[in-house]
Amino acid sequence: MDNLFLASVGSFALILGFLLSAYAVIVGIIAQRTNNPAMAESVKGASIAIALTTTIAVVIMEVYLISGQFAIQYVAHYTSSDLPLFYRFAALWAGNEGSLLLWAWVLSIYSLAIALNNVVPKIKPIALTILNINNLFFLFILSFVTKPFVILNPAPAEGYGLNPLLQNPGMVIHPIAVYLGYVGFAVPFAFAMAALIAKYPGDEWIKVTRRWTVFAWLFLSLGNLTGMEWAYVELGWGGYWAWDPVENASFMPWLTGSAFLHSVMVQERKDMLKVWNIFLISITYVLTLFGTFLTRSGVLSSVHAFADQSLGRYFLIFTTLALFGSMYLLIDRLSFLKEGKEFESVISKESSFLLNNLLLVGAAFTTFWGTTFPLFSELFTGEKVTVGAPFFNTVNMPIFLAFILLMGICPLIAWRKASISHLIRNFALPFIIALIVTIYLFIIGIHKPWAIASYFINTFVLLTTLWEIWKGVKTRVKLTGENFAKALINLFLKNRRRYGGYIIHIGLVLIAIGITGSSLYDIEKNITLTANEKVTVKNYTLVFKGLRELQLKNADAVVADIDVYYGDKYLTHLTPSKNFYSNEPNPTSEVAIKGSLKEDLYIVLAGWENENTAIFKIKVNPLIAWIWIGGYFLIFGTLFALWPGKGTEMGPRVVGATSLAKEA
């Protein structure tokens, strides 16, 4: 079937979307200034229309990808006829044009949701206009710079196929999760700017956009976690994080986004930190744009680069505009943003949240400078100076440990003013137990100072968090007379935000424990073995039995058979392999992992001389499974906190009694 005509429809839809966005922005501004309801309704109609155009473009692209229409350049570049259906579908975000299209689509859907929803009516139209400016930018790029529907003439008979490194379920989730995260932050940003522009005193915009913020944060977390998992399982270097510029690009907004999530709670309750919050969400949003710029411009060498110079230039311009625009607005409206309450005590939840923010933003700041240093040093000295992983680790490790410690202390601190004797009483037991555990670890051989510090702090925080939950349940039992189980369930369900947060904290602690073990005590051995030769790494004895060939669906594999013994006992049979795909000149490594809660045995078939001689990279990564387990806790905790229903309301607000009477 010749469906090539759809390509021009797709391109037409994108250009139409571009024009509609321009209309929506211009008319949106006029409608706001002249207070014209018909125009405002027309902008709403335009939002529906824009979403329609992007949806049509996405659908057409998917039709092409799934049907394997190689006359379309993008399809030929990223798929082949032997590619499984699932990956054809996901090829939408495998390359530049498709992923930008996906971004534009998600953005237009989010904008539509805002257009149709009658929240904060005074500033919503302005927020919508800001979102439409974003739509305008992305549709401009898609219409005139990186066009998705380029036709090849003559049409190739077969496509290049998807890079086998990307043919992995985690890798399918990773990009789309990151985009959903990035785009999600545009909504709270738009509302923050709208509040500034309109000099709107209320902060319902924070309540309204809270869901969006948590939602975006959830996906950004998921994106980072799946990225790590993919790097570990697919790339075969035995690690999961290299402080690569593109990794940092999605980590920085996660850090500032986490800070924002916490500081808005202070604003909700105490009407404080207004300026800081607007600054934070602006920085977060700008970092998402910047992250996209880093990934796509090829301006920093990275294992990821999508290298496209002109696209990079446009992104840089847009990012700079967003940064200067938001900062100008913030500074200009500074006097208008009166603070509500004061800090009532140095030891209070408010101040601990502020400390939390300082640490997170500090980490984001250092990561930013480390990442962009090559660019700036080249600008000023002519030489590109890079900083490596050791720099990031040296700076960020102490910050993260301090942050985790704070995570453990903060729940015990009350709003306004904490009772210090209460704090000390509640820290005593977890402190002592953590100390005992740490001494035990020292005795069994854990001597590295960072490991000791990390295990002590993490154990302490885990215990204080569990203790806090335990005490909460007991108090509820006392007050309501419910039995323990019922009290536990009700406590969680009625305070989703708080207890979801505790689950997230526990998840982070587990992740930190996993990172500590696997990065400080990992063991690596590279060795060449002949058949029946064996090697011992830690307590594992590996016996290499030989190589054989295996035919897979779209690849030929060379497989190494290895018998693994733990001590004297037979443990398992592992088969690391190298897969040769028909469209790729170089094979990919399929790593073999025998994992347990204690450690991972990780084997890569690095190469071979003949069918009896093979080269292996062997790693033992202690505690690495806890990173993924912690990740599940984190995701679950966020979903729990996010789920609609009772208990998701914010906490008490210190309102003036007279303001209520005035309204009545």
Partner 1 sequence: MNQRAKILVGSSIIVVAIAFLFISAFASSGTSYLMQVDEAVYKINHENVVDKKMRIEGRVLPGSVSWNAKALELKFVMVPIKGSEEYKLPVVYNDVKPDNFEHPEAQIVVEGKYDGKVFQADTLLIKCPSKYQKKQ
Partner 2 sequence: MAIILDILLLGLCGFLVVYPYFSKPENHDPKINSLKEKLLKDKETVFKTLSEIEFDYHMGKIAQKDYEELKNRYMREASIVIKAYNELLGDKDKKINKKEVLTEIERDIEKEIEEELKKLRNKKRRG
- Residues 422, 448, 573, 598: which binds partner 2 (CB under 8 A)? 422
How is 171-236 classified by DSSP, letter by letter? HHHHHHHHHHHHHHTHHHHHHHHHHHHTT----HHHHHHHHHHHHHHHHHHHHHHHHHHHHHHHS-
Q: Minimal distance in Å, beta carbon 110 to partner 2?
A: 18
Residue 657 binds which of partner 2, partner 1, none (CB < 5-8 A, kind-dependent)? partner 2
Q: Please answer whether residues 503 and 633 qualify as being in contact, where contact means their C-beta atoms are separated by less than 8 angstroms.
A: yes
Q: Which long-range contacts (CB under 8 A, 24 or more apart) does 577-585 make?
A: 577/550, 577/605, 578/605, 579/164, 579/552, 579/555, 580/555, 580/556, 581/161, 581/164, 581/554, 581/555, 582/80, 582/82, 582/161, 582/554, 582/555, 583/80, 583/159, 583/160, 583/161, 584/161, 584/163, 584/164
Binding of partner 2 at residue 416 (CB under 8 A)?
A: yes
Q: Minimal distance in Å, beta carbon 100 to partner 1?
A: 14
The Cα–Cα gap between 538 and 87 comes to 38
Q: Minimal distance in Å, beta carbon 115 to partner 2?
A: 11
Binding of partner 1 at residue 588 (CB under 8 A)?
A: yes
* DSSP three-state, residue 158: coil
Binding of partner 2 at residue 436 (CB under 8 A)?
A: no
Site for partner 2 in 46-65 (CB under 8 A): 46, 48-49, 52-53, 56
Q: Which tokens hold the place of 21?
A: 């966005």
Site for partner 1 in 499-538 (CB under 8 A): 526-528
Mark out the alpha helices in 93-163 (DSSP H runs): 96-116, 124-140
Binding of partner 2 at residue 419 (CB under 8 A)?
A: yes
User: For partner 1, how many residues bind (rule: CB under 8 A)?
Assistant: 64
- Residues 30, 41, 81, 524: which binds partner 2 (CB under 8 A)? 41
Rounded to the nearest 5°, which phi and psi values hold at 611? -70, -5
Site for partner 2 in 99-128 (CB under 8 A): 121
Site for partner 2 in 466-485 (CB under 8 A): 471-472, 475-476, 478-481
Exposure of 459 in the CB half-sphere (CA atoms within 13 A): 19
| Distance from chain centroid for Cα 346 | 32
* DSSP three-state, residue 602: strand
Query: Burial of 22 by CB count in 10 Å (0-12 exposed, 13-18 middle, 19+ buried)?
Result: middle
Site for partner 2 in 609-648 (CB under 8 A): 646
Task: Please tell me what DSSP assigns to residue 333.
Answer: T
Stretch that binds partner 2, among 41-49, 306-314, 379-387, 402-410 (CB under 8 A): 41-49
Site for partner 1 in 109-128 (CB under 8 A): none
**CB burial readout 245-264, b (16+ within 10 A) else e:** bbbbbbbbbbbbbbbbbbbb
- Residues 384, 416, 497, 498: which binds partner 1 (CB under 8 A)? 384
Closer residue to partner 2 in complex, CB, 81/419: 419
Residue 331 binds which of partner 2, partner 1, none (CB < 5-8 A, kind-dependent)? none
Site for partner 1 in 18-47 (CB under 8 A): none
Which residues lie near partner 1 (CB under 8 A)? 73, 77, 95-96, 160, 162-163, 165-166, 236, 301-308, 342-346, 351, 354-355, 358-359, 362, 365-366, 369, 373-374, 383-388, 390-391, 394-395, 398-399, 526-528, 578, 584-589, 604, 606-609, 613, 615, 617
Q: Which residues bind partner 2 (CB under 8 A)?
A: 5-6, 8-9, 12-13, 16, 20, 23, 37-39, 41-42, 44-46, 48-49, 52-53, 56, 121, 412-414, 416-419, 422, 425-426, 471-472, 475-476, 478-481, 646, 649-653, 655, 657, 660-661, 663-664
